Structure 1
Amino acid sequence: MDTTTDIPRYPATRPLALAHKPLLDPLFAVLQPRVSELTFANLYLFREAHAYRLTLVEDSTVVLGQGYGGEEYFLPPLGGDVAGVLRLLLERGMTLYGADEPFAARYLAGEGVVVEEDRDAFDYLHLRKELAELPGNRFHKKKNRINYFIVRHSFSVAVYGATHREGCLALLGEWRRVRGGIDSPSLELETKAAAEALLLTDRLGLEGVVVLVEGRVAAFALGERLNRDTAVCHFEKADPFMEGVSQLVDREFNRLLFADCTYTNREQDLGEPGLRAAKLSYHPVELVKKFRARRA
């Protein structure tokens, strides 16, 4: 049952739109989020996948969404009386998603609230400098794969720009085609979001790098600043038949972009075993825990 109509002072629910960027950006700047979902670009690019809508509850802006299975949730309230608004929404049977540990400790420690970790949604947090330099024996396999690529291909690396758009879209299409037999509810949605990100990088404040092999895009990565000391990589796609290029584009993203950031957030694994193993192989310094909360 959709309980959102019971929210007090619920004047309107509006689908998330580009016009909301000037509203949300200052709120995220105050929040300084650690959770990868909490940027305007990420919410906008996955607005259809998660049916993101905005509403005003008391004096807080609230983002409403849906999981891949259709379950309703709301993200941590932005601005205003967070504790009060959170209490109102939970009392009306709604589920909170995307709370990190500091938020949970501050607002969800009271009696009568069930708080659950969502391991499949934990973000992988890395030292940016380690990803840029791959130091020591821990990253030996990554360096070997990059070297394998380097000795076999004539390539160049560039900061993403409009001249790379068509090549990146072609690579994205091939990446999707190769995964045609994979049963994943997020595959089509991620492909659509990545394509739109390539088209709207300037308007969304995204930055990226591309690897070119003989003038053709062999890999790209796009991301943005998440908070004062952390960048987030939202999309990383590579030619699935070119060994070593995915490791190279990851290194170059961290080497060329957001050099003043201490950390890089590489997002979640969605519970996919192969993706989890790949992300863990980069030796995160922390798994940023995310929690769901509801009234008992």
Structure 2
Amino acid sequence: MLSSCDFKPVTLSDRDFFVQHYRRFPQRHSDNTFTNMVCWNYYANYRYAIVQDCVLLSSTIAGKTRYRPPIGPRNPDLLHEVLALALKSDETRPFVVLDQETLEWISGIYPELQFQPERMYFDYVYLANDLAHLPGKGYSTIRRQLNQFMKTCSPLVEELGTDNIEEINDFVEQWCEWKDCDSNPDLASEKDALCFALAHYRELELSGIAIRSEGKIGAISLFEGQNEDTALVHFEKGLPDCKGIYRAINAETAKILAKKYTYINRESDMGVEGIREAKMRYHPHHMVQVHMLGREELEKVV
């Protein structure tokens, strides 16, 4: 019988395994991606098990664990074991589903289950060409702000690399001072994740750009391919020194990614109203929804 002891921590050395597995079973939501797990491990304590050619994932935040459906060949018996394991967790909603196909599969086996959508974790996915070129009336305000930035701030775009990595690390410190990360646990965790990504960008095979304005780095983004048609932007940060720089880092990142990918996943808003408003202004093509099961629902089938 499956137990929590079967799971081991996700570490940087596991990257090749996850890359190979996810080529066979592509991920649509950002949370299951290897980069997300290994960078946010200080906060979410991701663990995994390999059972019958499936990957099982869990995350533990503040001592409470959530489990995900098996990633691999459809296996109803293994699914039932994961549901039973989730019921043993102290978490109120201990089982989370991150893609529509898996939700439909589980609902077909257990039609009595009532899943709860969790809007704050929905990923925003955009047409890459829309973010790169900002076409039509829907983007007129963003285009105007971007044009003003280009005129007044004399930006230069450069790739992340050995020549500027130290300066980018200094930028992160400045960003955290501005945001007062030390007084906000969520921002402090985000800083840890971003610093890990920068420290290991080669091993993670991340790409990134910085925008330099008036000689100083004022914005950065880090990104990678998520699957064949979608790129994933993990981090996008800017300082307030030059108005419109967030518009610029978004557009410059999209211009690069649109050459290879149809869609850009810009992750969730985590329920922060200002972030939600900003992401909605860019008119997402679709959302990758997240659904959860509470303990009372699990008791119906376990």
TM-score by length of 1: 0.91
- Give, in angstroms, the shift of residue 21 of structure 1: 1.0
Unmatched runs of 5 consecutive residues or more in structure 2: none
- Give, in angstroms, the shift of residue 30 of structure 1: 1.4
Instruction: Compare 22-31 and 228-237 and name the one that shifted more.
Output: 22-31
The whole-number CA distance in structure 2 between the counterparts of 1:114 and 1:183 is: 38
Report the AA paired with residue 76 of structure 1: P
**Which residue of the other structure, out of 33, 37, 51, is the alignment partner of 1:39?**
33
The whole-number CA distance in structure 1 between the counterparts of 2:168 and 2:181 is: 22
**Which residue of the other structure, out of 15, 18, 23, is the alignment partner of 1:24?**
18
- Give, in angstroms, the shift of residue 56 of structure 1: 3.2
Unmatched runs of 5 consecutive residues or more in structure 1: 1-6
Report the AA paired with residue 7 of structure 2: T
The whole-number CA distance in structure 1 between the counterparts of 2:115 and 2:182 is: 32
Question: CA 1:208/1:51 → structure 2, altered by over 3 Å: closer, same or farther?
Answer: same
Instruction: Compare 259-268 and 150-159 and name the one that shifted more.
Output: 150-159
Instruction: Compare 77-86 and 44-53 and name the one that shifted more.
Output: 77-86
Quote the residue 1:4 is aligned against. none
The whole-number CA distance in structure 1 between the counterparts of 2:268 and 2:156 is: 29
- Give, in angstroms, the shift of residue 208 of structure 1: 1.2
TM-score by length of 2: 0.89
- Give, in angstroms, the shift of residue 111 of structure 1: 3.7
1:40-59 paired onto structure 2 within 5 Å: 40-59=34-53
CA RMSD of aligned residues (A): 2.0
Q: Does 1:60 align with 2:54?
A: yes
The whole-number CA distance in structure 1 between the counterparts of 2:3 and 2:267 is: 34
Q: Identity of counterpart residues, as a percentage?
A: 26
Contact 1:73–1:97 (8 Å) recurs in 2 = yes
The whole-number CA distance in structure 2 between the counterparts of 1:182 and 1:147 is: 34
- Give, in angstroms, the shift of residue 229 of structure 1: 0.3
1:206-245 paired onto structure 2 within 5 Å: 206-245=206-245
Instruction: Compare 57-66 and 137-146 and name the one that shifted more.
Output: 57-66
Per-residue deviation, residues 155-208 of structure 1 (Å, max 9, x unmatched): 211222121212211121111111217975421111111111112111102111
Contact 1:230–1:262 (8 Å) recurs in 2 = yes
Q: Does 1:205 align with 2:199?
A: no
Contact 2:211–2:249 (8 Å) recurs in 1 = yes
Question: CA 1:188/1:182 → structure 2, altered by over 3 Å: closer, same or farther?
Answer: closer
Between Structure 1 and Structure 2, which shows a larger proportion of helix residues? 2
SS at match of 1:228: coil
